[in-house]
A and B are shown apart, each in its own frame.
Chain A
Amino acid sequence: MKKTNIVLLVLIAVVSAILISVYVGTVPSTTFEGAKSADGKNVRITGTLDKTQPIEYDPLANANLTKFHVVDSTGHSEKVYLTYEKGKPDGLEFSEKITLLGKFEEDGAFHANDIQMKCPSKYNDQKHSLETAEKQQ
C-alpha cells in the first residue's frame, strides 16, 4: 500500500472520530419531564428564570450553592440547586435565557453543575432607554 493511501485512511478515521466525538459527546437537550426519565444521566435544559420564586443564596452556609426556579420550554417550573464554583452566577436575575447542565437527584430538585446564561445586551437596553428619553426629563 502506498504511503499516501495510508495517510488518507488515517485521516478519514480521525475526521470521523472527531465528528462522532463532537456530536455524540454533547449532552442531549431536553425538558424537565425528559430529565426525570433520563435515568440519572446528565442532560441539558434550557429555560428562563422563574421570577415568582426567590433566588436563595447563602454564602455562609455554602458559597457554591445557589437555589432558584427555572421554567422550561413547556412552561414547567422546577427547583434547581446549582453548585457552581464561582458562587452565584453574575447577572442571574437579569438573564433572558438559562441553560443548565445536570440531573434530578433523589431530593426531587434538579441538581445543576454548570450554567450558561443569555443576558440582555447593551443594545436592547439602549433602545429601551431612548424610547422613554422624554419621560426621563
Chain B
Amino acid sequence: MNEIQYINENALPGMLGNFFVVLSFASAIFATIAYIMSARSKGIDDVWKKPARIGFYLHGVGVIGVIGTLLYMLVNHMYEYKYVWEHLNNEMPLQYVFSCMWEGQEGSFLLWTFWHVILGFLLIRWSRDWEPWVMAVVAGVEVFLASMLLGVYFGDFQFGSNPFILNREAAVNVGLPWTQNANYLSLPVFSNGRGLNPLLQNYWMTIHPPTLFLGFASTLIPFAYAIAGLWRGDRSGWVKPAIPWAFFGVMILGTGILMGGAWAYEALGFGGFWAWDPVENASLVPWLTFVASAHLLVINQRKQTSLFSALVLTLSTFILVLYSTFLTRSGVLGDSSVHSFVESGILAQLLVYLLFFTALSTFLLSSNKKLRLIYGGVSVLLFIIAILNLATLDKASLPTGEGVLPGEGTIVPTLTLIFVVVSLVFMYLAYRKEYKANVEQEEALWSREFWMFIGALVLTLSAVHVTVQTSVNVGNIFLAPFSETWKSLHQSTGLDIFKRMAEHNFSAPAEKERFDAYHRIQIPLAFILFLIVAIGQFLKYRTTPFSEFARKIGLSLLLAFITTILLGFVVEFDSNAGPLYALVFATFWALFANFDYAIRVLKGRVDVIGASVAHVGFAMLIIGAVISTSQSFFISENKIGNVTELSKDFSNSEDMLIYKGDTMVMGEYFVHFKDKYRSGNRLYCTIDYLKKEPISYNEGEYVVVQGSLFRSLKSHTASDSFLRDWAQDSLWKEVTPAEYDMDEAPEWKPGKPGEKLFTLEPTLLFAKDQTSREPSIRHSLSKDLYTYIKYTDTEMKTDSSGYLEPKSGVIPFGQPVRLSETVTISLDTLRRVDSLPANLPQNVVLKSGTAILTDGQSTERMVLATVATLDGTPLVFPVESEKFKMLLSLKETSEGVELTMQQHSSGVKDMLILSAEIFPQINVLWLGCLVMVIGTTMAIRHRIRLAKGKQKQNADS
C-alpha cells in the first residue's frame, strides 16, 4: 500500500512534541537511577550527583518543550491534532488558550508535571544534603507522570495518552474512510475545532487549575522528605526541612480549593460556593490530611511522640492526591458529578501507580528486614496474580452492559482488597515493633501536643468521612465479589443492610441529600476541631498548670459566649440548626482566643504570630460560610400568576415573573426589566435596580389588589406587605366594585421606584447541547445580591403569518380559563342556533356563545361557535381577537368543548423568571481566606528563619 501524502498537514510540531515526550520520560528514568546511585554513595565520592542533576534538568526541558509545542499548536489552530481539535475553536479569544491546554486530561497531567519540575529545581537548590534521596523520589514520581503522556499500546493496553496524536491516527477514527482521503483537512469538520465548553470560558479557569495543581504538586515534597527519611534511616531528621514546604502546600492547596469555590459561586451558577461535589471533595480530602500532617510535624519537632502518625499522614496526603486523580479522571464516579471526567481508559494505569506508591510507603515504614521481605513478597505476588488473571481472562465471559462495575468479573477487586488488608496489618506490626516504644510515657492531658494530636485526628476523621461518602460507588466494586456472603448474612440475620450490600448498588447522595449527608458528620467534627483551635495555643508543650490556662482562656470564652448569644437575637437559626449554632460559637471562640493569644501573649510580634493569624482567618472563613449559607434568602417573590390562587400566594416563592419594560417591587428594590438581547452564544437580561421610596396613601384612596377593590381607612405609609396593612393593621377595607370605578384605581404598591442604584445582567450561556446560567452578582460589604435567569424564552417558533404554536384544552363553562400569562377567557354556555348564517353550508349543527376575554385592564367580547356536520364531524372556524392578538376556535369532542388558541407573536410580551438571593456576610469568608494566607505566609517565614538559624549555628560550631 502506498503511503498517503496528506495535504496541508503540519507533521513537524507533532514529531517535535513526541520527541519532548520521550525526552522527558527517558531523562526522568535516568535522573531517578542516577539519584539512587548518588544516595547509595552516601556523599562519599559522589560521582552521580552531577549527572543526576543534568538528567533532571533535561527532564525539565522535555516537559517545558511539550508545553511549548502544545501551545504553539493551539495558537496556530492546527486542527489535524486531536487535542487542538477537541479543545479549541476559531471563535475563542486567545486568552483562553491556556484554559484549553489544561481542560483535557493530558493537559492537566502536564500542568501537574510542570509544577513538579519547578519544585524539583527549587529542591536542587535548597535541599542540601537531602538532595539525592528527596530528588530520587521526585524524579521517580516524574517517571510515572511522564509515562501518562506516552500513548504507547501494549496489545490492548493503552499506556498513557498522547496529546500529539493526529485525529486520523486516533484509535476511535482508525479505519474510517476519510482517514484515507489525502485532502481530509479540507473537510468542513476540520475547519473548526470543538471548542472549550463555554462554562469554562472565564478567567477562573485560567487561574484556578494552576493554583490547585501547584497545591497538589506541593504535597510531593513532604512525601519525598518522609520517604527519604525512612530510606536513609533518619526517621526524624526529615521533619524540620519538610515543615515550611508542608505549610506552603497547605496554603496553596487551600487557596486553590477556595478559588474553585469562588468560581462555582461567581460563574457556574451552582447557587453557592460549595456543593460537596465529588471533584471538590477530591481536592478537599488531601487538604484536610495535609493540614493534620503539617501540624503533627510541628509537634514532632518538639517531641517525638507522634512520629508514626506524622509519617502516615504525610505519606497518605500524597497518596490521596493520586487517589483523587484516580477518582475524578478514571470515570469510576460515573454519573455522580457534574464535572468529573469521562472514562479515559487510564483506570488501570492510575490504579497501578496508586497501589505502587501505597506499597512503597508502607514497605519503608518498617526497617525490619524480615517484615519488609514478607510484605514486599506478598505485594509482588498479588500483582503477578492480577496480571496473570487479566492476561488469561476470556474477554467474552466478562459481564457487559448497564450497571457493570469496573473490574467486575476479574479478581482484581478481591486482590486489591487483600492488598489493603495486608498493608494495614503490616503497618500495625511496624507500629508495635518500632514506633510504640517511643510513646512509653503518656502525654499530659493539658499539653499542647496532646490536643494538637487530637485535632489532627479530628481532621483525619473528617477526611475519612468525605472520602468514604464520595467513594460509595467505588465501595460497590469491593462489595460485588462477596455478594453471596452478604446474601447468606441477610438470610441469617434478616438485616436490610446486608441485602443492600448484596445488591451492591449504593450510590453517592444526590444534590439535595448531599448537604445533609455531609453536614451530619462534618458539623460536629468541625465543632470539636474549633474548640481545639481555640484552646491549643494557650496550652504549653509538655504540661500546663490548669489554673493558669483557665485564667488566660477565660476572656475569649466570655467574648465568644456574648457574641454567639447576641448573634442568636439578630439572625434566626432554624430549630434544627442546633449543631450549626454550636459551631458558630466554637468558631467565634477560636477567633477570639487566637486573636487574644497574638495580642496578649505574643505581644503582637509580627515574626511569631503567624499561626494565630492563620487560625483567625480559618475561623472567619467558617463563620462566613455558615452565616452566608444558612441565612441566605430569596427576595424574588412571584407577583404575577394564577389569579385564583393569589390570596394564598402571599407565601414565599423563590422566583419572580417579570415582563420586559415592567418595573416591579423586589425585596428592598424596584427592579426594571430593561432589555433582553443576544450576543454570541450568550443571552443577556438587563435589569435595573431602583431605590424603593416609601409611598403614602391618604384616607379614602382606592387601590386594586389581585382584582379586588380596597379603600384606605386612614392616611398611612405603606409597609412591605399589603396583607399586614390590611389584615393586621386594619388600614384597608375591601369594598364592592360599585363604590368606585376599578379602572381608575391604581394597583397597590409597597413603595414607588426612585433613582437607579445599579444594573445587573444575568446571562444564559448556550453550549452545544446544554444551556447554563451565569449569575450576576452585586457585591456589597455586608451581603451579596445573587441573581440569575431561571427561565426566559430563548426563541419563538412562529408560522408564516406570525402565529405561535397552537395550544388547546377542554374548556369548562362559566369558569375563567387562562389563555396566556395575562389573558383569561370565560364562556358561559353554548346555544344551538337554528337559523344558520348564509356563509355556512346548510347541513351543519351550529352552537354559539359569547366569550369574555380580559387581561384585568381591558375586556373584549366575542362570539365563538362550534360547527359540526350532521354525523358529528367538527369543522373548525377560527375567530380573531383583535385586542389580544390571538386566534380562537372551538370544537366539540367526546370530552367536552375543546378550545384552541394561537397567539400572534406581536401580542407576546417578553418575560423573564428571575431568581434573586441574598447571601449575607459572604465577604467574611473571602476575607478569612486572605487572612489565612497572610498568617500562613508569616508562619512559613518564621519556620524558614528558624531552620536557617539552626544551620548557621551548626556551621559556626
Complex CA distance for A94 and B767, rounded to whole angstroms: 13
Partner of B654, one of A15, A85, A90, A120: A85
- Asked whether any CB of chain A lies closer than 8 Å to the CB of B842, the reply is no
B173 at the interface (CB under 8 A from A): yes
**Chain A residue contacts of B771, Cβ below 8 A:** 90-91
Any chain A CB within 8 A of the CB of B509? yes
Contact A99:B507 (CB < 8 A) given known A59-B913, A134-B178: yes
Please give the distance in Å from B269's CB to the nearest CB on chain A. Answer: 9
Closest to A73 in B: B402
Residue in contact with B442 in the complex, picked from A3, A25, A99, A121, CB distance below 8 Å: A3
Which of the 9-residue segments B232-240, B288-296, B362-370, B512-520 touches chain A?
B512-520
The residue from B511, B641, B913 contacting A114, defined by CB atoms under 8 A apart: B511
Which chain B residues in 626-657 approach chain A with CB under 8 Å? 638, 641-642, 654-655, 657
Select from chain B the residue with minimum beta-carbon distance to A115: B510
**What is the 8 Å Cβ interface bit string for chain B, positions 296-336, against chain A (1 contact, 0 not)?**
00000000000000000000000000000000000000111
Chain B residues contacting A19 (CB-CB under 8 Å) are 468
For A7-32 the 0/1 string (1 means CB < 8 A from B) is: 10001001101110111111111000
Residues from chain B with Cβ under 8 Å of A2 in the complex? 442
Contact partner of B173 (CB less than 8 A), chosen from A14, A22, A88, A130, is A130
B929 to chain A, nearest CB (A): 27
- Known: A91-B769, A118-B334. Is A63-B913 also a contact (CB below 8 A)? yes
Q: Which of B334, B497, B913 is the one whose CB lies under 8 Å from A24?
A: B497
Partner of B188, one of A59, A85, A137: A137
Q: B763-779, CB under 8 A of A: which get 1 and which 0?
A: 00000111110000000
Cα distance, A22 to B184, chains bound together (Å)? 53
A131 (CB) vs chain B CBs: closest residue: B176
Produce 1/0 per residue, A53-68, CB < 8 A to B: 0000001110110000
B719-736, CB under 8 A of A: which get 1 and which 0? 000000000000000000
Q: Which residue of A lies closest to B172 (CB)?
A: A127
B808 vs chain A, min Cβ distance (A): 14
Contact with B along A106-120 (1 / 0, CB 8 A): 000000011111111
**B429 proximal to A (CB < 8 A):** no
B contact residues around A103 at 8 Å (CB) = none
In the complex, B868 has a CB within 8 A of chain A: no
Q: Which residues of A contact B335 (CB under 8 A)?
A: 97, 99, 116-118
Residues of B within 8 A of A61 (CB): 642
- Residues of A with C-beta under 8 A to B106: none
Contact assessment for A101 and B194 in the assembled complex, using a CB-CB cutoff below 8 Å: no
Interchain CA distance A97-B657 in the complex, whole Å: 32
Beta-carbon contact of B657 and A134 below 8 Å: no
Q: How far does the alpha carbon of A102 sit from the alpha carbon of B639 in the complex, in Å?
A: 29
**Residues of chain B within 8 A of A113, CB atoms compared:** 512
User: How many angstroms between the C-alpha atoms of A117 and B338 in the bound complex?
Assistant: 9
Which residues of chain A are within 8 angstroms of B520 by Cβ–Cβ distance?
21, 25
- B821 in contact with A60 (CB, 8 Å): yes
Pick the interface stretch among B119-127, B457-465, B571-579. Answer: B457-465
Q: Which residue in A7, A11, A23, A97 is a CB contact (below 8 Å) of B497?
A: A23
Tell whether A69 is near chain B: CB-to-CB under 8 Å.
no
Given A11-B457, A22-B517, A27-B513, do A133 and B178 touch, yes or no (CB 8 Å)?
yes
A63 touches B509 (CB 8 A): no
Bound complex: CA of A15 vs CA of B510, how far in Å?
A: 23
Q: Smallest CB-CB separation from A98: which chain B residue? A: B335
Task: Name B167's closest neighbour in chain A (CB-CB).
Answer: A130
Q: Chain B: how many interface residues by the 8 Å CB criterion?
A: 66
For residue A126, CB closer than 8 A to chain B, the reply is yes
- A59-B173 Cα distance, complex, nearest whole Å: 43
In the bound assembly, the distance between CA atoms of A97 and B510 in angstroms comes to 14
**Distance of B383 from chain A, by nearest CB (Å):** 28
Write out, one digit per residue, whether chain B residues 146-181 have a CB within 8 A of any chain A CB (1) or not (0): 000000000000000000000100001100111001
Specify the chain A residue showing the minimal Cβ separation from B168.
A130
**Contact between B497 and A134 (Cβ–Cβ < 8 Å)?**
no
B541 within 8 A of A: no
List chain B residues, Cβ under 8 A from A115: 510-511
Chain A residues with CB under 8 A of B342? 121-123
A130 touches B172 (CB 8 A): yes
Q: How far is the CB of B431 from chain A (nearest CB, A)?
A: 12
* B510-A116 in contact (CB<8A): yes
A114 touching B513, Cβ below 8 Å: yes
A114–B510 touching, CB < 8 Å: yes
**A44 x B178 contact (CB < 8 A):** no
Residue from B177, B439, B454, B510 having most chain A Cβ neighbours under 10 A: B510
Cβ proximity bits B494-527 to A, threshold 8 Å, 1 near / 0 not: 0001001101011101111100010011000000
Question: In the bound complex, what is the Cα–Cα distance between A84 and B821 (angstroms)?
Answer: 21
* Contact assessment for A116 and B511 in the assembled complex, using a CB-CB cutoff below 8 Å: yes
Q: How far is the CA of A63 from the CA of B520 in the complex (A)?
A: 31
Verify if B57 is at the interface (C-beta below 8 Å from A).
no
Given contacts A61-B642, A116-B335, is CB(A29)–CB(B507) below 8 Å? yes
B880 at the interface (CB under 8 A from A): no
Measured CB to CB, the closest approach of chain B to A34, in angstroms, equals 11
Q: Is B472 an interface residue (CB 8 A)?
A: yes
Per the 8 Å Cβ criterion, residues 450-474 of B in contact with A are 450, 454, 457, 461, 464-465, 468-469, 472
B472 touches A22 (CB 8 A): yes
User: Contact: A120 with B769, CB < 8 Å?
Assistant: yes
- Minimum C-beta distance from B187 to chain A (A): 5
Proximity string of chain B (877-893) to chain A, C-beta cutoff 8 Å, 1 when within and 0 when not = 00000000000000000
B772 and A90 contact, CB distance less than 8 A: yes
Q: Are A114 and B512 closer than 8 Å at their CB atoms?
A: yes
Tell whether, in the assembled complex, residue B913 and residue A18 are in contact, meaning their CB atoms are under 8 Å apart: no
Is A136 among interface residues, defined by CB-CB distance under 8 A? yes
> Least Cβ distance of B746 to chain A in Å?
24
The answer to whether A15 and B461 touch (CB under 8 A), given A133-B178, A134-B177, A136-B188, is: yes
Question: What 0/1 readout, one digit per residue, does chain A (72-108) give for beta carbons within 8 Å of chain B?
Answer: 0100000000000111101100100101010000000
Closest-CB distance, B320 to chain A (whole angstroms): 17
B408 within 8 A of A: no
Is there contact, CB below 8 Å, between A21 and B454? no
Q: Are A21 and B913 in contact (CB under 8 A)?
A: no
Chain B 512-549, CB within 8 Å of chain A: the 1/0 string? 11000100110000000000000000000000000000
Q: Which residue of the partner chain, among B503, B505, B506, contacts A23 with CB atoms under 8 Å?
A: B506
Question: Which chain A positions have C-beta within 8 A of B513?
Answer: 26-27, 101, 114
**Roughly how many angstroms separate A129 CA and B503 CA in the complex, as a whole number?**
38
A129 to B194 Cα, complex, angstroms: 10
Closest Cβ neighbor of B771 among chain A residues:
A90
**In the complex, A125 has a CB within 8 A of chain B:** yes
B266 at the interface (CB under 8 A from A): no
A73 to B181 Cα, complex, angstroms: 43
Instruction: List 7 additional A-B contacts (Cβ < 8 Å) besides A26-B513, A137-B187.
Output: A23-B500, A63-B791, A116-B511, A121-B342, A122-B197, A122-B342, A130-B173
- Which 9 residue pairs are nearest across A and B when measured between Cβ atoms? A118-B335, A121-B342, A59-B791, A91-B770, A114-B510, A18-B465, A133-B178, A133-B189, A114-B512
> Which B residues fall within an 8 A CB radius of A?
86, 167, 172-173, 176-178, 181, 184, 187-190, 194, 197, 271, 334-336, 342, 402-403, 439, 442-443, 445, 450, 454, 457, 461, 464-465, 468-469, 472, 497, 500-501, 503, 505-507, 509-513, 517, 520-521, 638, 641-642, 654-655, 657, 768-772, 790-791, 821, 911, 913
Ordered by A's residue number, 20 sampled pairs between the chains whose C-beta atoms are within 8 Å are: A11-B457, A15-B461, A18-B521, A26-B507, A26-B509, A28-B500, A29-B503, A44-B510, A59-B791, A63-B791, A94-B769, A99-B507, A99-B510, A101-B512, A116-B336, A119-B770, A122-B342, A123-B86, A129-B189, A130-B167
